[in-house]
Each structure stands twice: as structure tokens, then as C-alpha cells.
Amino acid sequence: MNRLLLIGLLLLTHLTFADDGYRLWLKYDRLTDATVRSGYARSAQFIAVSGSSPVLKSATNELQLGLQGLLGTTVPTLPSAGTRQGGIVLTVGVSGADANELNEEGYRIVKRQGNILVMGKTDVGVLYGTFALLRQLQTGQSVDAINLVSSPKVKLRMLNHWDNPNGTIERGYAGGSLWKWSELPETIDPRYKDYARANASLGINGTVVNNVNASARMLTGEYLQKVAALAGVMRPYGIKVYLSVYFAAPKTLGGLKTSDPLDPEVRKWWTDKTAEIHRYIPDFGGFLVKANSEGEPGPQDYGRTHVDGANMLAAAMKPFPGVVIWRAFVYKADPTGDRFKAAYEEFTPFDGQFDPKVIVQVKNGPIDFQPREPFSPLFGAMPKTPLGIEFQLTQEYLGFATHLVYEAPVFKECLESDTYAAGKGSTVARVIDGSLHGYSQTLMAGVANTGSDRNWTGNPLAQANWYAFGRIAWDHTLTSAAIADEWVNMTLTRQPQAVSHVRAMLLRSRDIYVDYNAPIGLSRPWTGVHFAPEPWQNKSPRPDWTAVYYHRADSVGLGFDRTATGSNALAQYRPEVRRQWENVDNCPLPYLLWFHHVPWTKQLSTGRTLWDELCTRFYTSADSVRWLQQEWTLAKPALDPVLYTDVAGRLATQHREAIWWRDAWVLYLQEFAKKPVPKPFKQPEQTLDDVKKSVDIYLLR
Amino acid sequence: MNRLLLIGLLLLTHLTFADDGYRLWLKYDRLTDATVRSGYARSAQFIAVSGSSPVLKSATNELQLGLQGLLGTTVPTLPSAGTRQGGIVLTVGVSGADANELNEEGYRIVKRQGNILVMGKTDVGVLYGTFALLRQLQTGQSVDAINLVSSPKVKLRMLNHWDNPNGTIERGYAGGSLWKWSELPETIDPRYKDYARANASLGINGTVVNNVNASARMLTGEYLQKVAALAGVMRPYGIKVYLSVYFAAPKTLGGLKTSDPLDPEVRKWWTDKTAEIHRYIPDFGGFLVKANSEGEPGPQDYGRTHVDGANMLAAAMKPFPGVVIWRAFVYKADPTGDRFKAAYEEFTPFDGQFDPKVIVQVKNGPIDFQPREPFSPLFGAMPKTPLGIEFQLTQEYLGFATHLVYEAPVFKECLESDTYAAGKGSTVARVIDGSLHGYSQTLMAGVANTGSDRNWTGNPLAQANWYAFGRIAWDHTLTSAAIADEWVNMTLTRQPQAVSHVRAMLLRSRDIYVDYNAPIGLSRPWTGVHFAPEPWQNKSPRPDWTAVYYHRADSVGLGFDRTATGSNALAQYRPEVRRQWENVDNCPLPYLLWFHHVPWTKQLSTGRTLWDELCTRFYTSADSVRWLQQEWTLAKPALDPVLYTDVAGRLATQHREAIWWRDAWVLYLQEFAKKPVPKPFKQPEQTLDDVKKSVDIYLLR
């Protein structure tokens, strides 16, 4: 037997030689501490579950899988606990205080009568509770006197996939599309289910499967069959499927002469199409619409408004529970305007005019997912219109799959910003969760960072951003640090020293990135080479697609004057907010160049001039990537070696590219500032022309 | 102990619940027959290897990995066998008859003095012998009196990757690019090594890492560092890296005013660039060039010839052992011409003028990887110019990742075709292996079907095409059936009944596909919707990019007259070949419509009219996909369940799409033939307009 065991273990070693990241945070590796393990085992001798809905089945299966992995034992399931003790009981239906305290998707986990009860008003509440219980075990918490209660603060917690039918992903850095359109509906990739499990473990309950720059083909019967197949996989995990729609579909698909939202034939087309979708997907989640934005068609093509467009779709959706999510990401090509102000100007006049089924989805900042933005002035400015928030998980402006940026602080920073819409404490979070204005529909969306790469997110550490988004969408009061702790413990290691090194990396990573990429309130939403430094870029089909439009470097200084002497975008904020930012002398540095054109020689609160402060940030942050590398090395003994090597490689790329960004900015801005790089930093070894040449490579086919 | 074992096995079950296809044919799962296993174990008690080259290390590591997996034991390595017996001895250096019989890469495996000797003249020969020995074990052959000798018949056996720097693959159906350009050179994906192992196991010794529609960026220092990192992974597996080059690079990268191959500055630029490449990659394999083809730049842009262009690059390569591979895939946009004739017309006048370093790479057929083509008339027509052959593994015209087409018969059919260039027996294979014309450089290239999908090829059964290509490139005398047997046994199952079902599927699959897709010599290299039936397509920037250009359907009949009464492309073949095909009354049916415009009512050798024969093919082949499904179901008990389900899904898609092709062709051709569908077949349920609409979906963004 000994020998057979050896063979088994050798085989095991061979087959599992590397952690390929596929399992995400749902790893369920056997707990190494035998005491902990046997403690849990005493509380998990059986699983009792009454009822057999597909969602309950998912919960039961997950619990069995998790317990088998963590404890190494197969736990039997029973239809009821009877008088048994020492098991886990999954129960739909609550009583007493829970009836008031829990919402439809909430759960309570409590030790009662010798068993661990996982309760919810609905089966999906039980599913979420099951994942929460597993998380307790994965992170080594005691369950002897467990008593956890939690309900999601936001109703629609969803991922937006910018996946195209041709298999590519717009702004995707983790391989091709998750969805194998040409193989659907017949071939169901096992990853679809694992995707659903991962989302359900966080409480994500919606997925928009296609790009907001939408293909009309998604609305054909051919593709609806494919989408229905995906919906079939998602349903047992409480996840609804949504579609991005191409507003001109009545013309391109329906053969109509117009897509005018007030045209009766167009309205009928959408009504019929919406009904057809529901024949394929009875629990269809709804539509997501990018209209009259960056060249996409929309109601304005026919002299109509966003309200006309959105309400038409809402009317089509009327017989069904689904919603219409209308994006506020719009901006006109106006050389004299300020793109910052566009969404507010276009949308606030419509407050109160949207159908109750409509949610307006607003990006966290006024521009476009920049490394650091002030919160969008729309939040708090439309009390009669449910506003959802859109974050971007995929690192379009945050270093692709090579730079480490843990995004929980990005999300938190925005959500904790105070809009003062109803006095102090009117945070963006309270706008989004509906508590401030009493929105009935609430929404938090994240543009997914998933792709077909085995480890889902390209950079293994970017899994933390998917995780953090899901957790914050459920409960925005969780701290970035607490979420990091959970994720590292579940995903990478439970060795305390190593956890502490990786946690430190995650928590500092975003500030490091900002400081070499877009410090003190710079932004960089330029086209051209999208991922490379190109501050000199000044040619484009639109003025607001150049770099110089944003940074406004000149011989005097740097930054975009958005005070009353400039574009006065600040006027879109409440006076209390405006006052924080409008004075160049006390505007917090993270926002300084967002709102002010600051002279190079201006002394900042740090005691340095603008130029010296910029240089200090560029140089110290590029050096800080070395610190990230050191921390990672310190954690190495507790990490899977293949995963360690993978991330170490990415950090090396990050260091090389951080210097690239630093040199590009320093050399370019130096031409305006006409000052030397302050000591102890050294003038870059390369010239601006060198950097330009290295960037131009990426303009080649 | 019993309990611990159980835990181990449970864990094992959990971790390896599905065969995800990643391991390809190098599976090394433990042999189930204990007698066989112990027999092998007696012959594999140690591995003796003298020498420590990286290639020998690869061989040793692979042998250890394989034996550990197959036998379940860790086999020690020794620097020499000494007087020991019962081991495997890897030896560089041969004597006696082997010195003559083996070429530089050949191997002998022989039982001698109680050991299994794996010998080669070079370490790479030993590596290939090692994989051959493992194949013997994997397929259950006896090694007691083993005596195998084999040398590759072709010198350069390579994959051509059409991977782009942006991460996409042209005509790729298995996810994104294998190469993570934005993460290189720092991050080395473990799959690069597994890719190298898989290729080395077949004897593939070269890889062109980028698309023939080449980006100039591949020649920048930035990218050469990345390519060098890949070369570092390939080198210990005997694989050289090649680059596709953009002919206009002297202008776009070098800033020169011209890329004229006779311009001294241009020549110097290429000489310098070639030297630079070798500083990064000392054993660089060479260049692959698509010039003046489908819009790519080339020497003709400057009034020069293919010879001028190729010989310039050969001159730049002169100090190094690398080669210049120049593609013959060229055709002008000539509305009155016949694309079939273009390559022959352009290249044969240059025979004897190319530098000895140049190899002209010719696609297997005269058009473009059609489901079935006659062999290219260039084979045998350039006795003084080494011609390499290019096959396409990726299923651009063979049903993407959903249709099953085992391609060994495609390769074999071409290679076994007799060119009669030097009398009977002058097969294409003998042109390619150099034996007919005494070529010093010989080349077989396959356009890769690999991508970032976990299972490498999208359709798990498409792995067989990679396998078959490699095996045939090594030894073109292997039969399609023998290769199928090897692959199925190594990859899917060794249960004899199941092997026989899957083998039958593989061997019939190509004929089934041809019969619903392009029967009796039809072809379909049209643009528009590349993968969908579109025989009506008659608009395009070029006449030879329409469907009607090829099939020439009219009220009289169908097919392209390439006899003396038509384009006379047949005149490009030797008289013996021409005679086989020039007479409409006895031209073999697979080639009939390639060479003749045949009346609908013409009685064929089958006893049916052309129209009835076409319908018979379309209908029976679509029905035959049902047979494929049945065979797969019969093999099910011996197959991994996840893999079974995956392929079953694809076969269902194939059946649906076979009917789509059938209906499209039948309904379209019926408009010309004006005849009913012959009994017992039934008129399609959909109209031609229905089919057109279903195809038009794929023209939408």
C-alpha cells in the first residue's frame, strides 16, 4: 500500500506541478493544519438541504467540492438534518428578525442546535451564504460560534464584457474572448460554469456578454441561441445575462428605413425583438446601450434625445422584469469645450424624464477610466434618475497585464467621495446604493478583465481586481486591505509573512503606478499608441483625442484650468466640493492638474516646485517598482514557484516600462519647463527622440 | 495509510477531473497493464547519459518525465552505464553502418549488451530517438528486441505561425496568439517549453513565429529581444526560430527613401539588420517572405524581380547558416487571367537564378489551401531551385474549429501525386525531399493551427493535424492510418474498439467535408464571409476574390474550363499528368470541375448526371456527419467524459453547418441547373433567400 500511495503521490506531483491560476480564489486545497481541519470536519459531517432548485444544487455541489478539497473528505448530503447535529443545513426561508434584516439576496450563517445553518429568503441567498461559509473556512476563521449576516447593498452587480463576436476583446489583455461564439450553442466550454461559480462566490448577479460597441448580430436568432446557451449555464448560479445593443439594429437587421425611436415601426421592431429574446431567455436581464458616443448610432441621429431612446427600449421591456441601462459616456467633438463637462451637460436636463426601468450608467470619473480621476459630477446631480456606476477592471489605462495595480482603492476612493448632494455624508456610495435619493434600481458594473487565458486575467495578480470589484459591489464598506487579505489568503498563500508582503504590494501599487504614469492630476486618454507614453501626441481626428488637449503644457506651466477662469467644470460640483479643489494653493495634489494650470515654479505643499515635485514623483515611483519586486521576492518561499516566476517577469517588465513613462514625461515636459532634473535624480540616459522612436514601433502594423 | 491513500486519490480525482487536452500526445498517463508496465520497468532501471548539452538534458528530462508517468517510478540518471544492464543509454556518436545510414538528425534505438541504446550523430538525433522510444512505450510496443532506425527525409520541418504582434492570429481558431509579446522578454509562459517539447517529439525543427503579412516591428531591437527569449526556450529542443519579414522595412524602420533591393543603402540596411538579429539570436533560422502578394510590398514595387529581392536577403544572410524562404503565393488581379496559372508563370522563368540560400515555398495546390486541389504545377517545374511545400494546418477552408477534418490524407494526396518531371515516379514527395532534383535545402512547412486555447487547437481532434504534419515532415512514407493510430493511442484511448471507431472517423472525415463543401472539384477561395457558404458572392475589389470567378455556374453547366479550350492551365503540367485530367469523359471526379465546365446533364462515371451527382454528394455527406456522431458515441465509454462532450458539441455544430453548406449550394446551383433535387433527397426546407440572410449575419460588424 505504501508503494501504491507513493505512486499516487508521484502522479499527483506530476499532474499538479504548477498552479496555473485557473481555480482563482476557489482553490479548496487541503488545509495544512490538522487541528483546524478536524475542527471544521466536526462541524461539517453532513450537508442537509431541502429543496432541489438548480441554485440550491449549485450551493450543495460547491459545498461538497469545497469540503472535499479543504478537509479531504466526502461529505454526504441529506434531505434534512432531522435530529442530527454537527452538519451544515442549507435552508430557504427565514423568520424573526431576519425577515426584516435580510433583503432578497441576503444570507445569515449561524450556529444553531448543533448545526451550521445557512439561510436566505431565496435560494440565491443560500448560495451566497454557502460561498461566504466556504470563505470562512478558506481563510481559517472559526465556525464554532459563527453568526454572520449580510445583504448586498446594490441590487444589480454585474460585469460588462467588451467581447466581440469575432473572438477579440476590446481592451482585453488576457487572450481572446471567453465566449466561443462559433462553437456555441452546441459546445459548452467548461469554463463558462467556472466563470459563473467565481462570480456567484462574490455575489455578482449579472453579465453583459458583448461589447458596448455592439454588433447587431447579437440580436439575431442565430446568436440569441448562443446567448441562451450561456444563460443556461449562468442561471443555476443566480446570474442573469444582459446584451449590449446596437441602436441602429431596426435598420440593419429589421430592414426598416429608420431607427428613429419615435417611429411606430421602430418601436414595434424593438417590442417584437424584446419578446423574441425572452422566448430564448425567459429571465433575460436587460439591455446595455452605448448611443451617440464615439461614433455609435443613437437617437440623436434622428433629432431625438437620450430619453427618447432609453424610454423606447423601456417600453419594449415593459412586459418583462428586465432593465435598460443607458450609458452616460458621451462627449461631442468640440475644440473649444471641455470633455470633462459633457456627460453632465447632456444628462442633467433629463433628470426625472427617464422611464422607471432605465438606469443611467456613469463612469466613475468624468473622462475615461484614468489612473486617478475626481468623481463624476453626475453623481448626486440626478436625484430622480437611478444612476449606476461603471468601473473598469481591465487595465486599459492601468498598465495592461504587466503593471501591478490593485484597484480596490480606485473603487473605494470614488465611492467614498462626498458629493454633498444632500449635505455632508452624501457619498457616491450612497448615491449608488440608492440610500441617498431612494433609487429603486441600483447598479454597480465593472468592465471585465477576463479572457481566454488559462489564468483568466493574464496577470495572475489582476484576479484580485475581479475579486475586489465583486466584494465591493456587494458591500462597499469593506476596506481595500480587508479584501486584499481575503484574496491573498484564498488565492496565493496563508503564510502570514508572505501575506503581509503581498498585501503591502497590492495596497501601494496604485499610487506607485499613478506617480510614474499620470501624477498630481495628469490624465492621458489619448489615442495613437494607446498603452505607451505619448505626451507629445497632438494630431488626431478630434481635438479631445490628443494628449496636449489634456495636459496643456506650455512655457508657463502644466494642467487644465477648470476653475472659473478656465472651463469652469468645477461649477458642476456642489460648492463644498468646489471649495476643496478651486484654490490652486490648497487643492489636494492628486487633483491639482485636473483643475489648475500651474506654473512650473509654483511652490507646492510638499515644499517643492511643480517641476521638482513632478520629477520626484516620476523617479521615486519608477524606483518603487524595485520595491514591489523586493516584496515579491520576500514572499517567494510561500508561493507557488511557477506563479512566482510569472509575476516576477511581469514586475520586471513594469520596471522597464515605468522608466519608459518617466523618461517620456520628464523629457517632454522639460522642453517646456526648461529646468534640469533636480538632484539626486539624474537626467534620463535617452533623448526625447529616442523615446519617441521606441513608441513609434507600436504605430507600425 | 489506507485512509491517507484515499485522501490522495480523492485529491487526485478533484485536481484532474477532466482531461483538458493541454498535454497533447505527450500524456504519459500510467500504463494500466501491470505486466506491460513491469516489462518496461525491467528495461528502464536507469538512464545513462554522457554529456550535458542542453539538448541532451531535454532528452533526459523528457525520458524521466515519461517513465515516471507511464511506469510510476522515478528512474535515476547516471553519467554512464558502466557494466550495468537493464537501462536506457543515450549516446551521441554512432559507428559502423549507422555512420552511413543516419543523417545528422537521425537516430537508432537498439537493444545491445542488455541495455536500450538511443544513438544519434548529434544530440538532437538522440532527442528525437528519445521521443521515438517514448512513443513505443506509449503505444504499447515491445522493446525487448527493439531495433529502430530513422532519419528525417526533409531537412527543414517547420511551423509557420500567422500570429500578429497585437495578439491575434490570422486564420486562427484556437484563441489568441501563443506568444505574449507584451509580456516578453521578461515573462516566459510555461507553454513555450511545452510547445517546444511537442514539436521536438515530432521532429519539427523550425518555427516562424510571426505572420507572413509581417509587421516591421518584429525587426526592431525591442521585438528581437522578445524573439530571442523564445529562441532561448526552443534551442534545447533543437528548434530554430525564423522571422517573417516586411519587405519595406528599410523605409519604415530604416528611414531610407526606398526599399529597392538593388539600392546599395537598402542592401546595407538588410546586411546590418541580419547581423543585428544574429547578435540576439546566434542560431537564427532565417527569413520567410511574402512579397508582392495580396498587397504586401516587394521588389516589383521598384521594377525588380522576386530573384532580386530574394537574392538580396540571401546576400545579407551570407555570413550565417540561415536561409531565405520566398513564398510563391502570388497572383495578379487579372480579370481575364486564371489565378491557377499565376505562380507558375511568375516563378518558372527564374529557375536557376536564385541564390543557393533561397528556398521557394509553394502551397500544395495552385490556388489557396482549398478542401481539395490538384498539386501545384510548380512542383517538378523548377529543377534548379529548391522548392519547399507549404500545407495549412489551421482550418481556414476546412471548417474552423468545429468541423472534423483529419488532414493527413490532404498532405499525402499531394505528396504522392506524380509530377512525371523525370518520368514515372517523380512524386511531389521526391521533389520536396530533394531526391528528384538533388536539392541541397529541403523544406516542409505547415501553417500552424495552434493558439492560446488550453488545448492548443480549439477542436481537440485538430491536434491530430499538428501531429500528422510533424510525422509526415519527418517521413512522408508513413500512412495516414498509421499516424492516426499512433495519435489516437497516445492521446485519446488505447481501448481497441474505441481506437477503431475514432480512426474510422479521422480517415473518412476529409472526404465527408469535401462532399458538402466543395465536391467534384469545386473550390471556394472567396472573400466576404470567409467561413460561410456564399456561392452567390460576385462583388469584390478583385475578380478573383469572388465566388463566381471559381465555380462559373451558368445555364449550361458548372466548373472552370482549364483545358486548351479554356485557360489552358493544364498546359503547365507534364503531358502524362495533363492526359489524366484533360478529357472530361475520364477526368477523375475529385478534379472534374477544377478543369472542366461540365453540362448539368452530363452523365458521369457514377452513372448519374452532374446535377444528380452533386446533389447526391451534398446530401449524403451532410448525412455522414451523423455517422461521425454515431462513431464518436460508440467510442464514448473509452474516452475522457469532458473531451467526449466537447467534441460531441462540435460535431453537432458541424452537422448543422453541413446542412447550411448543402442548402446554400443546392439552392444556388438549382437556379442555373433548373432541375429538381433527385429522389430520395428532399428539396431544402429553406429558400435561397433564407440562406443568404443567415450568411449575411456574418457580414455585420
Q: Which of B19, B98, B260, B368 is catalytic?
A: B368
* Cα dihedral B491/B496/B499/B500 (nearest 10): 170
H or E stretch at B604: none
Tell me what pLDDT residue A286 has.
98
8 Å CB contact of B175 and A400: no
Q: Is A5 on the interface with B (CB under 8 A)?
A: yes
pLDDT confidence bin for A701, thresholds 50/70/90:
confident
Q: Three-class SS of residue B133?
A: helix
Say if residue A575's pLDDT is above 80.
yes
Which of B501, B474, B475, B470 shows the shortest CA–CA distance to B488? B501
Instruction: Give tens-digit pLDDT for A476-495.
Output: 999 999 999 999 999 999 99
Instruction: Give tens-digit pLDDT for A17-33.
Output: 468 999 999 999 999 99
Same CATH topology for B156-491 and B514-560+597-699? Answer: no
Minimum CA–CA partner of B221 in chain A: A694
Kindly give the interhelix angle for B463-474 and B408-415, rounded to the nearest 10 degrees: 30
Say if residue A175's pLDDT is above 60.
yes
Which of B522, B586, B610, B594 shows the shortest CA–CA distance to B562? B594
Kindly report which listed range (A180-184, A576-580, B203-207, B538-542) carries the lowest average pLDDT score.
B538-542
| Residue A290 zone, left/alpha/beta (φ > 0; ψ -120 to 50; rest) | beta
- List of chain B residues with pLDDT < 50: 1-17
Domain A21-150 bears CATH identifier 3.30.379.10: yes
Tell me what pLDDT residue B543 has.
87
Candidates A175, A180, A650; nearest CB to B186: A650
Residues of B in contact with A74 (CB under 8 A): 10
| Residue B329 zone, left/alpha/beta (φ > 0; ψ -120 to 50; rest) | beta
Minimum CA–CA partner of A217 in chain B: B697
Candidates B30, B180, B187; nearest CB to A11: B30
Residues of B in contact with A656 (CB under 8 A): 186
Tell me what pLDDT residue B104 has.
97
Q: Is B693 on the interface with A (CB under 8 A)?
A: no
Mean pLDDT across the stretch A583-609?
Answer: 98
Tell me what pLDDT residue A529 has.
81
Residues of A in contact with B700 (CB under 8 A): 215-217, 252-253
Pairing verdict, β A107-112 and A147-150: antiparallel
Buried b (16+ CB within 10 A) or exposed e, A325-343: bbbbbbbeeeeebbbbbbb
Candidates B5, B30, B180; nearest CB to A5: B5
State the smallest CA–CA distance between residue A671 and chain B in angstroms. Answer: 25
Minimum CA–CA partner of A697 in chain B: B217
Instruction: Give tens-digit pLDDT for A315-336.
Output: 999 999 999 999 999 998 787 8
Fold of B19-150: Chitobiase; domain 2 (3.30.379)
Say if residue A236's pLDDT is above 60.
yes
8 Å CB contact of A173 and B188: no
8 Å CB contact of A5 and B7: no
Tell me what pLDDT residue A336 has.
82
Tell me what pLDDT residue B18 has.
67
Q: How crowded is residue A489: how many other Cβ atoms within 10 Å of its Cβ?
A: 20
Say if residue A79's pLDDT is above 70.
yes
Tell me what pLDDT residue B453 has.
96
Residues of A in contact with B216 (CB under 8 A): 700-701
8 Å CB contact of A183 and B642: no
Superfamily (CATH H level) for A514-560+597-699: Alpha-glucuronidase, C-terminal domain (3.90.1330.10)
State the smallest CA–CA distance between residue B71 and chain A in angstroms. Answer: 9
Q: Is B401 on the interface with A (CB under 8 A)?
A: yes
User: B156-491 architecture in CATH?
Assistant: Alpha-Beta Barrel (3.20)
Q: Provide the residue type at A670 as one letter.
A: Q
Minimum CA–CA partner of B190 in chain A: A642
Average pLDDT, chain A: 95
8 Å CB contact of B175 and A175: yes
8 Å CB contact of B701 and A30: no
Candidates B9, B68, B222; nearest CB to A697: B222
Q: Is A145 on the interface with B (CB under 8 A)?
A: no
Residues of A in contact with B454 (CB under 8 A): 454
Instruction: Give tens-digit pLDDT for A237-295.
Output: 999 999 999 999 999 999 999 999 999 999 999 999 999 999 999 999 999 999 999 99
Q: Is A42 on the interface with B (CB under 8 A)?
A: no
CB B116 within 8 A of CB B143: yes
A residues 645-664 closer than 8 Å to B (CB): 645-646, 649-650, 652-653, 656
pLDDT confidence bin for A542, thresholds 50/70/90:
confident
State the smallest CA–CA distance between residue B455 and chain A in angstroms. Answer: 10
User: Reduced to 3 DSSP states, what percent helix, strand and coil does chain A have, rounded to the nearest 5?
Assistant: 45, 10, 45
Tell me what pLDDT residue A605 has.
97
Residues of A in contact with B296 (CB under 8 A): none
C-alpha to C-alpha distances, B165 to A33, A578, B172, B278, nearest whole angstrom: 47, 45, 14, 21
8 Å CB contact of B182 and A190: no
Which of A564, A571, A531, A567 shows the shortest CA–CA distance to A552? A567
8 Å CB contact of B183 and A694: no
What is d(CA A184, CA A198) in angstroms, rounded to the nearest whole number? 21
> In chain B, where are the structural domains located?
19-150, 156-491, 514-560+597-699
What is d(CA B426, CA B430) in angstroms, rounded to the nearest whole number? 6
C-alpha to C-alpha distances, B473 to A190, B195, B206, B288, B374, nearest whole angstrom: 34, 17, 12, 18, 20
8 Å CB contact of A649 and B402: no
Q: Best mutation site among B1, B64, B166, B187 for testing chain A: the one with the most A CBs within 10 Å?
A: B187
B residues 68-127 closer than 8 Å to A (CB): 68-69, 72-74
8 Å CB contact of B7 and A222: no
Instruction: Give tens-digit pLDDT for B232-254.
Output: 999 999 999 999 999 999 999 99
State the smallest CA–CA distance between residue B402 and chain A in angstroms. Answer: 6
Instruction: Give tens-digit pLDDT for A425-467.
Output: 999 999 999 999 999 899 999 999 999 999 999 999 999 999 9
Candidates A16, A253, A700; nearest CB to B217: A700
Ordered alpha helix ranges (H), A320-446: 342-347, 408-415, 428-432
More confident call, B180 vs A541: B180
Say if residue A6's pLDDT is above 90.
no
CB B287 within 8 A of CB B244: yes
8 Å CB contact of B700 and A216: yes
CB B317 within 8 A of CB B255: no
Q: Provide the residue type at B25 as one letter.
A: W
